[in-house]
Amino acid sequence: MCEFCTQHGEGEKWYLVMENYSRELLSQEGRVEFMEDFLVNFEKDKGTSLARLDSLRSRPKLYRFFRRKAEARARAEHWGQVVPIEEIIEIVDMLDSVVRMPCVCRSLTTGRKARYCFGIGIDPHSILGKYPDYSHSLEVLEREEAKELLTSFDKKGLVHSVWTFKTPYIGGICNCDMDCLAYRAQVKSGILNTMFRAEYVGMVDWELCNGCRRCLSSCQFGAVRYSHTMKRAAIDTRRCYGCGVCRAVCEPGAITLSPRRGFAGLSW
Ligand code: SF4
Ligand code: SF4
Ligand code: SF4
């Protein structure tokens, strides 16, 4: 299991622990103010700090030093984990408030507005309503409505993740493609890690796989391979993030998720 399961979940999956969504936790350690500041200054802060880190890559010692510092800060303040749709639905069932809002990082990476970010457990009027950019397009969702939307995102191939605001409080569910800033920093450019992989890895059952190859283009982590000799797909467990979205395109149901901890040597 990932280190947060040990630290914040007593050995269970930390993101399924109700306390990590509680209003009591939200009211402690200046979390509300942290969230306000995070949203308002996101574009300025994240854009600048990633650009600075990137500029240090030609000086490896300095880069490693600042990367370690940035990752330690991210773990303490704003860290994510990929979570498959079944457990995202479990999370939504534990919550009493879900708000759909504009994506801060898609706005930064593409300059366009997109609405795949869900604020959870927060009072939209007390935190987000103060900011015109957010308040004009906040959408308070009923639980069933939120679950339907998330399921439709899964079918579109969007990867779900949960995010902390001063760990271990979880205040967001994200639904991302390659325009996500965390994806670009961690997977595409490898500058900085800000999230764990899921507690799972994907597996292909060759008895069921018909070799259609639809799963190859559905994986944004480049984890699916195709064997021309065997005429079957296979998942590279070292690259797999365990998001499970490749299952949605597999008509024979050949892809399943297995617990990551069952595979020796795989990291989170
Ligand atoms: S992490 Fe994904 S869903 Fe969240 S704001 Fe960024 S792009 Fe949007
Ligand atoms: S989508 Fe399913 S059936 Fe098609 S290649 Fe991938 S695993 Fe095999
Ligand atoms: S192969 Fe792994 S990372 Fe890629 S879509 Fe499937 S579960 Fe996600």
Domains and CATH numbers, the chain: 3-196 (no CATH), 200-262 (3.30.70.20)
Ligand 2 close to Cβ of residue 233 (< 6 A): yes
pLDDT attached to residue 183: 96
Cα–Cα dist 262/256, whole Å: 14
Cβ-based burial of 246 (10 A; exposed 0-12, middle 13-18, buried ≥19)? buried
Of 122-126, 178-182, 215-219, give the range with the top mean pLDDT: 215-219
Find the 5 Cα to ligand 1 centroid distance in Å.
23
Is the per-residue pLDDT at 125 higher than 70? no
Is the per-residue pLDDT at 38 higher than 60? yes
Interhelix angle 85-94/143-155, nearest 10 degrees: 170
CB-CB contact of 85 with 24 (8 Å): no
pLDDT attached to residue 45: 76
Cβ-based burial of 95 (10 A; exposed 0-12, middle 13-18, buried ≥19)? middle
Q: What percent of the chain has pLDDT over 90?
A: 74
Q: Whose CA is nearest to atom 4 of ligand 3?
A: 219
Find the 2 Cα to ligand 1 centroid distance in Å.
22
Find the 248 Cα to ligand 2 centroid distance in Å.
10
Ligand 2 close to Cβ of residue 225 (< 6 A): no
pLDDT attached to residue 244: 98
> Residue 239 CA: which ligand 3 atom is closest?
3
pLDDT attached to residue 36: 82
Q: What is the layout of strands, in order, in the sheet containing 80-82?
A: 139-141, 98-101, 117-120, 170-176, 159-164, 80-82, 195-196
Report how far Cα 117 is from the mean position of its chain's Cα atoms: 10
Ligand 2 close to Cβ of residue 235 (< 6 A): no
Residue linked to tokens 């009027």: 125
Secondary structure class of 159 (helix, strand, coil):
strand
> Residue 90 — φ and ψ, nearest 5°?
-60, -40
